[in-house]
């Protein structure tokens, strides 16, 4: 049988191909695309509503205008102010502790109340933090600059005046700065951060933000505001980059997400995530940055809290220091549309900031209707990938969370999930095992007859195929039955991928362990940490610890293949290609097991626990089915041969039988086509 182990061979071939791709990229890296020139224009460009500002426009205008035309005047020195509290954990009325800096009216740090930085529980998770490099400091959500009548004024390092107060159970920080002209004050900026009290059961992590631009003169002025996005997002991924920036816009009634990871932005220097010129009548809904489990999402809103006010002109992902070697300084930059201020008039820009976990329950909670309408859930689904079904990953997250609520341990929940899956697939597993046993029992006696057919019809492949299929039918054996022995594994592959996606996108599992050394099911198990990382040749992997679970997975899979019964080879079939193929597969198994260890070494321990448990249960299931079949054969061989009975009516064909029949028909058609082409 030429296709004896087709699906299994296909599975291993795909794994080898993926490994080769990883090795080839290390040996022959792709050429870097040249970074486009960003030289400033020779003349300052006038900023209009249909021509959003950019860093190049700001640089050109700054070089062309006198530096003394406008001057920012605020406080004499920098100050910090703190809102919220995280010492009470779930009992705290605030979900975060936020420290603000008067330099640029920015956020310095955000520590979450309900999440921890490390597995041992301390300290609280730091979502945002300032970044220092080459004598500069960047802070989150700072007002970078304001352009007044095409003249940019930098505000990033200007100390604003700041006051702190309480308002209806909320804590408020107010910042103000004035832009002075030659004749006196021209523009005043008032920035207000409001942190409301939000109990843990509300599942909300909001910070309200307003920026009021006030014209203090008797003349009309045109103003454009440029603000920075989140800074200091740390990586939570252990295998692939997970720090991203994104922008969501409503297009034709649906919210679509544009996202780029930090490394992609670092290589290009900048990337246009949203542009009103390109996406007219498709207003921005929200933008920000995040990692696997946490996010800082800024949603521009109207005065009444309604989304899509339409005051955003562009949002781009930018690399602040311009160095490709560093990627931790990537953020977003928002440029607002041009504001035309009449004398003594003012305009206020409103926004709501979400500072917290990518919590599926919070984003889909009916009480949080604004989260649902803005489709914050896109930030989680974006991490699912394209190798599995979205509904399957959602189902996996819901099922695991429910099992954890029952057993209070995600490791036990994963084991019970394996049991549920194996029970559902048991009919398919039993059918394939029974068919394989029958095939092995019948192929021995048939080998000699098959050799005779090949000798009798040398060179006539069509006739050999027809006679071989006839021999199979007379013996009651399906030659394609063993192809489906890998069907249970193939059916579990989407589940494996969905489980991997759920481990990467379920914040409830972050930092949750199983027992003993498995302290975090979303990370490798790390039994023995190494003082110095070990670099694997060719692959370039830096191994920082010894992970036991991937090794156990490879050993169990190797043992499972060894336990599979091997058909006895008759002496007359010493040169049978089927026998040689089976022997070659057996010889390759040690190498395949080693490949599995390398492939799964950096995978989350929860996924390795699932695969290991599934392999153990599959081995026990295989042993039980074969023992039951052997007992049936022994009981049948002890009694006298039953008298011939009339042939029973053919039972109703199952899905598996129909699949085998189609495979046989396809084989016959292929043989006929080959014979016809050869004759022509």
If you write DSSP's letter for every residue of 319-374 in order, what string do you get?
ESS--TT--TTEEEEEEEPPEEE-TT-EEEEEEEEEEEE--HHHHH-TT-HHHHHH
Tell me which H or E stretch contains 40: none
Q: What span, in angstroms and rounded, lies between the C-alpha atoms of 145 and 158? A: 10
Q: Which residue has the higher pLDDT, 207 or 45?
A: 207
- Say if residue 372 is in the same domain as residue 425: no
Q: Which residue has the higher pLDDT, 267 or 195?
A: 195
- Say if residue 443 is in the same domain as residue 323: no
Residue 24 pLDDT greater than 60, yes or no:
no
Q: Does residue 665 lie in a domain region?
A: yes
What is the arrangement of strands in the sheet containing 124-128, beginning at the earlier edge strand? 80-84, 96-101, 106-116, 124-128
- Say if residue 20 is in the same domain as residue 37: no
Q: Tell me the CA distances in angstroms from 336 to 230, 386, 655, one per residue in order.
A: 17, 34, 60
- Say if residue 341 is in the same domain as residue 453: no
- Say if residue 208 is in the same domain as residue 71: yes
- Say if residue 19 is in the same domain as residue 88: no
Least confident of 24-33, 93-102, 283-292: 24-33
pLDDT for 280 equals 61
Q: Which residue has the higher pLDDT, 463 or 359?
A: 359
Q: Does residue 514 lie in a domain region?
A: yes
Q: With CA atoms as reference, report the closest residue to 229 among 331, 381, 93.
A: 331
Asked if residue 281 lies in contact with residue 249, where contact means CB atoms within 8 angstroms, the answer is no
Q: Does residue 645 lie in a domain region?
A: no
In the numeric block, the tokens 């046989």 are attached to: 664
Tell me which H or E stretch contains 499: helix 487-505
Residue 378 pLDDT greater than 50, yes or no:
yes
Q: Which of 383, 401, 431 is the last residue of a domain?
A: 383
Structurally, the chain folds into a number of domains equal to 2
Residue 645 pLDDT greater than 70, yes or no:
no
In the numeric block, the tokens 């002496």 are attached to: 571
CATH code for the domain of 64: 2.70.98.90
Tokens at residue 7, please?
A: 């699906």
- Say if residue 293 is in the same domain as residue 409: no
| Paired strand residues for 300 | 351
- Say if residue 371 is in the same domain as residue 398: no
pLDDT for 317 equals 94
- Say if residue 286 is in the same domain as residue 236: yes
Q: Does residue 1 lie in a domain region?
A: no
Domain boundaries, position 553: 6-24+392-635+654-679
Q: What span, in angstroms and rounded, lies between the C-alpha atoms of 573 and 559? A: 27
pLDDT for 29 equals 46
Alpha-carbon dihedral sign for residues 247, 249, 251, 254:
positive
- Say if residue 498 is in the same domain as residue 571: yes
Q: Which of 361, 383, 405 is the last residue of a domain?
A: 383
Q: What span, in angstroms and rounded, lies between the C-alpha atoms of 372 and 354? A: 13
Q: Does residue 10 lie in a domain region?
A: yes
Asked if residue 600 lies in contact with residue 503, where contact means CB atoms within 8 angstroms, the answer is no
Q: Which of 350, 383, 416 is the last residue of a domain?
A: 383
Confidence of residue 198 (pLDDT cuts 50, 70, 90): very high
Q: Does residue 460 lie in a domain region?
A: yes
- Say if residue 14 is in the same domain as residue 46: no
Residue 116 three-state SS: strand
Angle separating helix axes 410-456 and 461-475, nearest 10 degrees: 120
Q: Does residue 291 lie in a domain region?
A: yes
Confidence of residue 397 (pLDDT cuts 50, 70, 90): confident
- Say if residue 339 is in the same domain as residue 449: no
Asked if residue 500 lies in contact with residue 604, where contact means CB atoms within 8 angstroms, the answer is yes
Burial label, 70 (beta-carbon count in 10 A; 0-12, 13-18, 19+): buried
Q: Does residue 647 lie in a domain region?
A: no
């Amino acid at each position: 049988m030429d296709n004896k182990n087709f699906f299994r061979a296909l599975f291993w071939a795909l794994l080898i191909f993926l490994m080769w791709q990883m090795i080839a990229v290390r040996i022959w890296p792709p050429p870097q695309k040249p970074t486009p020139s960003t030289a400033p224009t020779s003349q300052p460009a006038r900023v209009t509503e249909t021509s959003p500002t950019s860093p190049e426009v700001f640089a050109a205008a700054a070089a062309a205008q006198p530096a003394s035309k406008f001057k920012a005047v605020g406080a004499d020195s920098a100050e910090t102010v703190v809102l919220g509290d995280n010492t009470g954990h779930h009992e705290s009325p605030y979900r975060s502790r936020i420290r603000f800096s008067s330099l640029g009216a920015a956020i310095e740090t955000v520590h979450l109340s309900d999440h921890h930085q490390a597995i041992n529980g301390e300290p609280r998770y730091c979502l945002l933090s300032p970044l220092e490099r080459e004598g500069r400091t960047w802070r989150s959500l700072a007002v970078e600059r304001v352009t007044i009548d095409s003249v940019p004024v930098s505000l990033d390092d200007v100390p604003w005046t700041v006051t702190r107060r309480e308002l209806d159970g909320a804590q408020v920080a107010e910042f103000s700065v004035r832009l002075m002209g030659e004749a006196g004050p021209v523009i005043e900026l008032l920035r207000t951060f409001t942190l409301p009290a939000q109990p843990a059961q509300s599942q909300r992590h909001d910070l309200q933000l307003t920026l009021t631009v006030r014209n203090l003169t008797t003349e009309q002025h045109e103003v454009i505001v440029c603000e920075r996005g989140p800074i200091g997002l740390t990586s939570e991924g252990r295998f692939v980059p997970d720090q991203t920036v994104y922008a969501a816009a409503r297009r034709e009634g649906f919210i679509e997400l544009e996202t780029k990871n930090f490394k992609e932005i670092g290589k290009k220097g900048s990337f246009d995530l949203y542009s009103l010129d390109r996406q007219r009548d498709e207003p921005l809904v929200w933008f920000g940055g995040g990692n696997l489990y946490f996010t800082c999402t800024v949603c521009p809103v109207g005065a009444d809290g309604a989304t899509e006010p339409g005051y955003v002109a562009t949002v781009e992902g930018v690399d602040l220091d311009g160095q490709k070697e560093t990627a931790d300084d990537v953020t977003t930059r928002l440029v607002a549309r041009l504001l035309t201020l009449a004398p003594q008039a003012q305009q206020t820009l409103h926004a709501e900031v979400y500072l917290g976990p990518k919590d599926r329950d919070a984003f889909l909670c009916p009480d949080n209707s604004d989260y649902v309408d803005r489709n914050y859930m896109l930030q989680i689904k974006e991490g699912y990938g394209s190798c599995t079904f979205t509904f399957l990953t959602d189902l996996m997250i819901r099922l695991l969370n429910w099992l954890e609520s029952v057993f209070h341990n995600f490791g036990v929940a994963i084991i019970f999930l394996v049991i549920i899956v194996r029970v559902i697939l048991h009919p398919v597993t039993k059918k394939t095992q029974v068919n394989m046993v029958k095939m092995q029992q019948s192929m021995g006696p048939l080998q000699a007859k098959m050799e005779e057919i090949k000798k009798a019809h040398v060179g006539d492949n069509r006739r050999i195929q027809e006679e071989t299929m006839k021999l199979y039918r007379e013996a009651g054996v399906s030659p394609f039955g063993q192809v489906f022995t890998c069907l249970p594994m193939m059916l579990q592959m989407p589940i494996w991928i969905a489980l991997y996606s759920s481990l990467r996108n379920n914040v409830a599992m972050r930092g949750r362990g199983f027992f003993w050394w498995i302290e975090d099911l979303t990370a490798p198990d790390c039994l023995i940490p190494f003082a110095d990382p070990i670099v694997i040749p060719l692959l370039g992997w830096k191994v920082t610890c010894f992970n036991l679970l991937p090794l156990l997975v490879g050993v169990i899979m190797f043992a499972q293949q060894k336990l599979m019964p091997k058909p006895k080879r008759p002496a007359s079939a010493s040169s049978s290609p089927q026998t040689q193929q089976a022997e070659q597969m057996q010889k390759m198994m040690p190498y395949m097991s080693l490949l599995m260890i390398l492939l799964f070494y950096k995978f989350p321990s929860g996924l390795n626990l699932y695969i290991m448990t599934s392999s153990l249960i599959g081995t026990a299931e295989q042993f039980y089915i074969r023992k039951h079949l052997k007992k049936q054969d022994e009981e049948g061989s002890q009694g006298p041969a039953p008298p011939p009975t009339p042939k029973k009516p053919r039972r109703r064909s199952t899905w598996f039988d129909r699949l085998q029949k189609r495979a046989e028909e396809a084989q016959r058609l292929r043989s006929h086509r080959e014979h016809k082409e050869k004759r022509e």
